[in-house]
Amino acid sequence: MSTDISKVKALTFDVFGTVVDWRSSITQEGTSLGAEKGVEADWTRFADAWRGGYEPAMRRVRTGEHPWTKIDVLHRAILDGLLDEYGLSHLTEDEKDDLNRVWHRLDPWPDAIAGLERMKGGFVIAALSNGNMSMLTNMAKNAGLPWDCILSAELARHYKPDPEVYQTAADLLGLRPDQVMMVAAHGHDLEGARAAGLRTAFVHRPLEFGPDRTIEMPALDTFDLTATDLLDLAAQLGT
């Protein structure tokens, strides 16, 4: 890919999988909760099942089958469908709500904070996630993610990869789309960004879905940049 990236002034980052390791975080909280409540279950499978409900739920919003709904609400509906199977149906409403907010407390990948700090020295760095604003705000506060600002699909009331999300982000940043680079570990997100005129950087997260599922690096000419992690991306961007 030989697109000119010299005009890029802001980097927008996908968050789940790209910046934070949702699978380990959810598994860990499930394990702690199970120990506390005396419930035995496969908490990795629980994490995968919870995350697995997200794409279909979001698709129903994207197609207009459901009206605009925040991820917090989608997550809760998916969780409610899993409680019986994982021995958690006796949780109080407050406990269920707290468990649902595990998505506000996800841990970053080991390279994420250092990589973001470096890129922050040369660019405006912004979250651009399908997660809602409060989720992203709480997560940044909890994990120490050094965003210059937090943007979300919620501000466009459209989910990625709908073009409205990327267009809204560029507009709010006061930039043309070609001055913004989307950074993500998912090709469909970057393809949506590119269709809206943004530059694209792929970050390889081979362990996002665990060691049993292989995630190949895309061919190097698929996106403007291809990086092994956020420190590698920082270096490629000269920061």
User: Which residues of this chain interact with a copy of itself, rule CB under 8 A?
Assistant: 72, 120, 124, 126, 132-138, 140-141, 147-150, 154-155, 172-175
Phi, psi of 125 (to 5 degrees): -115, 130
What's the min distance (Å) between Cβ of 57 and a copy of itself?
A: 18
Smaller CB distance to a copy of itself: residue 126 or 198? 126
Which tokens in the block code for residue 126? 């912004």
Nearest distance from residue 220's CB to a copy of itself, in Å?
A: 32
What does the block give as tokens for 138? 């709480």
Closer to a copy of itself by CB, 140 or 227: give it.
140
Amino acid identity of residue 103, one-letter, is: W
CB of 21 to a copy of itself, least distance (A): 22
In this structure, what DSSP letter does residue 105 have? S
Q: How far is the CB of 190 from a copy of itself (least distance, A)?
A: 23
* Residue 123 or 202 having the CB closest to a copy of itself: 123
Specify the 3-state DSSP secondary structure of 16: strand
Of 211, 185, 183, 188, the closest CA to residue 198 belongs to: 183
Give exposure, 141-179, as e/b (b: 16+ Cβ within 10 Å): eebebebeebbbbbbbebbbbbbebbbbbbeebebebbb
DSSP letters, 185-226, are: S-HHHHHHHHHTT-EEEEE--TTTT-TTS--PPPPTTSSSEE
Q: Nearest Cα to 69, choosing from 130, 14, 139, 18? A: 130
- Give the residue among 141, 82, 115 at the shortest CA–CA distance from 234: 115
Nearer to a copy of itself, 112 or 136 (CB): 136
Shorter beta-carbon distance to a copy of itself: residue 126 or 190:
126
Shortest gap between Cβ of 129 and a copy of itself (angstroms)? 12
Nearer to a copy of itself by C-beta: 1 or 175?
Answer: 175
Q: How far is the CB of 210 from a copy of itself (least distance, A)?
A: 30
